[in-house]
Chains A and B, each alone.
Chain A
Amino acid sequence: MNHFELFNLPAAFQLDAAELQQRYRKLQQTMHPDRFANGSERDKLLAVQRTAQLNDAYQTLRSPLSRAEYLLELRGIELAHEQTTLQDPEFLMAQMEWRERIEEVDDWESLDAAYKDLQEQMRDLQAELEGFLAEDANDDAAITVRKLKFMHKLHHELERIEEQME
């Protein structure tokens, strides 16, 4: 059973986050290992395994990036552990500029501005990704997922700076 089937949801990028959470909570209750406290060792072990699978599925589908990556995996494109490099000079130059800009963030104002611009670019890429996935343009979707991974890394960098400033 794949992650979408587990929640009885269509295998699509567009997904109602509230609906997913509701289904997750319901399944969590029915599977909770405590319910099997009086069951056999095998039942208990199974409940633990199913709960782990449920949590994994929920975490994967909850974030748009990992959901897209998982969807592409179902469509035969494995991105999770790929080691090929990205060689798009224009995109990489923009990444370098982002890194330089982040290095210079030294107050709340520049941090906020960086967050705002970054989130806007991430939203654009995500909209592009949604279109590609809906059209089954999987190779284009994979390229966009790779780009989004770089953007997420930048976001983590900003979060790290924010923690240091607090």
Chain B
Amino acid sequence: MAYSEKVIDHYENPRNVGAFDKNDPSIATGMVGAPACGDVMKLQLKINDDGIIEDAKFKTYGCGSAIASSSLVTEWVKGKSIDEASQLKNTQIAEELALPPVKIHCSILAEDAIKAAIADYKTKHAK
């Protein structure tokens, strides 16, 4: 199967690979996995007191499309408020990367990783 140029670019030069300290209160961590292919994705957001995402890092074990989806998402969410970020849809990711139908689940994984991270942030700051 042929990958699109954008997927190859993100796959060969992934942006923002790495991790933050998950115990830092400004860090939100989202972990998700896709049972269909066994891919796992960890997305971390650094969120300031105004609820703006200042930085993002990811670690993904999976195919090129899964890595590209998470890499793209880290670029997209930077500078966004958590409300804006939570409205990001997998279809936007799939469209940007020109993902074929069999790889749509990779974009779903990335969308769900953002949601899981934001949920983690809200739990951390609920008290």
Query: With A and B bound together, what is the CA distance between A51 and B106 in angstroms?
Result: 35
Instruction: Check A83–B32 contact: CB distance below 8 A.
Output: no
Which of B38, B40, B105, B112 touches A96 (beta carbons < 8 Å)? B40
29 A-B pairs in the complex with CB atoms less than 8 angstroms apart: A79-B35, A81-B36, A82-B35, A83-B34, A83-B105, A83-B108, A85-B34, A85-B35, A85-B108, A85-B112, A86-B33, A86-B34, A87-B32, A87-B33, A87-B116, A89-B31, A91-B33, A92-B31, A92-B42, A95-B33, A96-B40, A96-B42, A96-B59, A96-B61, A99-B61, A146-B35, A149-B38, A150-B38, A152-B38
Instruction: Check A92–B32 contact: CB distance below 8 A.
Output: yes
Instruction: Check B40–A95 contact: CB distance below 8 A.
Output: yes
Query: With A and B bound together, what is the CA distance between A109 and B115 in angstroms?
Result: 40
Residues on B facing A (Cβ under 8 Å): 31-40, 42, 59, 61, 104-105, 108-109, 112, 116
Q: A83-B36, A92-B31, A156-B38 are in contact. List 11 more A-B contacts (CB 8 A).
A: A83-B104, A85-B112, A86-B34, A87-B112, A89-B31, A95-B40, A95-B61, A96-B42, A149-B35, A150-B38, A153-B38
Q: Which residues of B contact A83 (CB under 8 A)?
A: 34, 36, 104-105, 108
Q: Which residues of A contact B32 (CB under 8 A)?
A: 85-87, 92
State how many residues of chain A have any CB contact under 8 Å with chain B: 23
- A165 at the binding interface (Cβ < 8 Å): no
Query: With A and B bound together, what is the CA distance between A85 and B39 in angstroms?
Result: 10
The distance from the CB of B20 to the nearest CB of chain A, in whole angstroms, is 14
Which of B31, B36, B104 touches A87 (beta carbons < 8 Å)? B31
Q: Taking CB as reference atom, which chain B residue is nearest A81?
A: B36
Q: Taking CB as reference atom, which chain A residue is nearest B105?
A: A83
Query: With A and B bound together, what is the CA distance between A85 and B115 in angstroms?
Result: 12
The listed residue with most A CB atoms (<10 A of its CB), out of B31, B37, B59, is: B31
Query: With A and B bound together, what is the CA distance between A83 and B94 in angstroms?
Result: 14
- Complex interface residues of chain A between 60 and 111 (CB less than 8 A to chain B): 79, 81-83, 85-87, 89, 91-93, 95-96, 99
- A154 at the binding interface (Cβ < 8 Å): yes
Q: Which residues of A contact B33 (CB under 8 A)?
A: 85-87, 91-92, 95, 150
The distance from the CB of A68 to the nearest CB of chain B, in whole angstroms, is 13
Q: Taking CB as reference atom, which chain B residue is nearest A80?
A: B36
